[in-house]
Structure 1
């Protein structure tokens, strides 16, 4: 595995700026997740690192080696896409073996069989090795796709929303598996997603992209607890953070125009009366959807207490975040 460094990287497609002067270090052995909406530059970052796209400016180094002019094969990266990208006429065994049989790797057959058996066991597809790829379920095909990357020992694994097309149960299972595998291998992994749960549960580092710019980089906890803007604060947290006018609670003294309150940062029992609009019972927690002076607010409450729609509950901020009128954090 290797450290990967992006230095002042920019890329445009015609008049559209995909990445704008991005500098980022992906530490050796880290699980880095890139977050952002469609068009933020997440997939372009992967394609630039892999060599599938050419830089307009800047520098990319892998393991201390500048790779700007190297081909994808020379860069020694393994990429997993959202779609399965399997060879349908080959068995699972031959799909897994395919990258190891490339002229560049020239892996001995005994070593290929050992790696296939090891990866198949980890991904729980050992009983599918002789099946054609077309005979697999969607979840099994994605496991094979991930397995084709795992049989190698590249400098970095690049994964572009590999779980997004799976059902919820499979996504949960593979999240746990991917994190365990990455930790066991000590692998350097860059993972693109718009799913904040994947970012919170798997990442050692999170990079938040906005219109091609890297606006914050840090641990999931740091991004969640200390976002530097309304935009970053809105990327992590479920239910989403409540962004409200600071004057709603008389909190404009430090120049704040807006306050941010995560659902758990709202104290009940005192403060301003808010109307209960909807109640969601989720077993271990209850979400209350409230209306306060025309503003929607979501908070978490004791699941053992009953709340009636149309009733009032008093709320006030508990250690809120402060933002100026441009959405930048006031610390």
Structure 2
């Protein structure tokens, strides 16, 4: 495995600046997830690392070597795409073996067989090696697509939303499998997704990207608990963080310069009315088995929080709200430390 370093990378397509002065280090053995919406520049960043696109400025370093101008084939990178991209007329075995049979590699057949069988065992598809790709389920096809990357043992694995086309059950299953495999192999992975659950459950570090800019990078806990701005705060957390204008919280003291208060579910405690300054009204209760999503109206602002299903909350009921260590943001959305309070 190897380190990958991007230094001030920029890429423009006509009037669109897809990546802007992006610097990023993927450390050896890292599982780094780039998290952002469609159009944020995630896939373009991967294509710049592979050499499928050339940067307008900046450099790409792999294992200490500047590969910015090198062709894709010389970079020792494996790319897993969103779609399966299998050869339908070939068996699972031959799909897995295909990268090793490239004229550029010329790996002996006994070595190919060993690697294919080891990879199939790792992915729990050893019993499918003689099946044609067309006879596989969606989850099995995506395992084979991931296996074609694993069999090569490259410097780094790049993965472009490989689970997004699967149903929820398979996504959950393969999230666990991918993380298990990465840990067993000690692999270096750069994974891009718009799905916060994938980022939180698999990443050793998360980089939040928007409009081609890397806004913050850190462990999942760091990003969740200490976001640098309100946009980063909104990318993680279910239900999504509530962002309230400071003017509706005039009854409580806020740090100087606060324009927006970020309230996650753990920052909000509900209680029966007892003379407290913050009183909201239950708008709707969603019953979700082990927890309830409670939608509240507070001075015309809607909030969503979690509650124990045993709490007898009903639409129209007035309820007291207690804020505990919320997040504070200025007019530009930048974080204000609570210590200034």
Pairwise same-fold verdict (TM > 0.5): yes
**Counterparts in 2 of 1:271 and 1:288: CA distance versus 1, 3 Å:** farther
Deviation at 1:284, TM superposition (A): 2.6
Equivalent position of 2:268 in the other structure: 266
Alpha-carbon separation, structure 1, partners of 2:25 and 2:290: 38
CA contact (8 A) 2:5 2:62 kept: yes
Equivalent position of 1:287 in the other structure: 293
Q: Deviations over 1:71-109 (max 9, x none)?
A: 111000000000011111111100000001112222221
Equivalent position of 1:255 in the other structure: 257
Which segment is superposed worse, 297-306 or 321-330? 297-306
Deviation at 1:247, TM superposition (A): 2.5
Equivalent position of 2:35 in the other structure: 35
Residue pairs, 1:1-331, within 5 angstroms: 1-250=1-250, 251-269=253-271, 270-331=276-337
Deviation at 1:271, TM superposition (A): 4.1
Deviation at 1:283, TM superposition (A): 2.6
CA contact (8 A) 1:249 1:316 kept: no
Alpha-carbon separation, structure 2, partners of 1:110 and 1:277: 66
Q: Deviations over 1:274-324 (max 9, x none)?
A: 111221222332221111111110111223222112212111211010001
Which segment is superposed worse, 123-132 or 89-98? 123-132
Alpha-carbon separation, structure 2, partners of 1:210 and 1:144: 31
Deviation at 1:253, TM superposition (A): 4.2
Deviation at 1:140, TM superposition (A): 1.2
Listed as ranges, the gaps of 5+ residues in structure 2 are: none
Q: Deviations over 1:175-228 (max 9, x none)?
A: 000001001111100001000000000000111111111111111110000001
Listed as ranges, the gaps of 5+ residues in structure 1 are: none
SS in 2 for 1:296: strand
Number of corresponding residues: 331
SS in 1 for 2:88: coil
Alpha-carbon separation, structure 2, partners of 1:178 and 1:107: 26
SS in 2 for 1:234: helix
Alpha-carbon separation, structure 1, partners of 2:36 and 2:172: 21
Query: Cα RMSD between the aligned structures?
Result: 1.1
CA contact (8 A) 1:273 1:314 kept: yes
Q: TM-score, normalised by structure 2?
A: 0.95
SS in 2 for 1:17: strand
**Counterparts in 2 of 1:309 and 1:59: CA distance versus 1, 3 Å:** same
CA contact (8 A) 2:255 2:336 kept: no
Alpha-carbon separation, structure 1, partners of 2:277 and 2:124: 53
Alpha-carbon separation, structure 2, partners of 1:118 and 1:310: 60
Alpha-carbon separation, structure 2, partners of 1:103 and 1:61: 26
Alpha-carbon separation, structure 2, partners of 1:253 and 1:69: 49
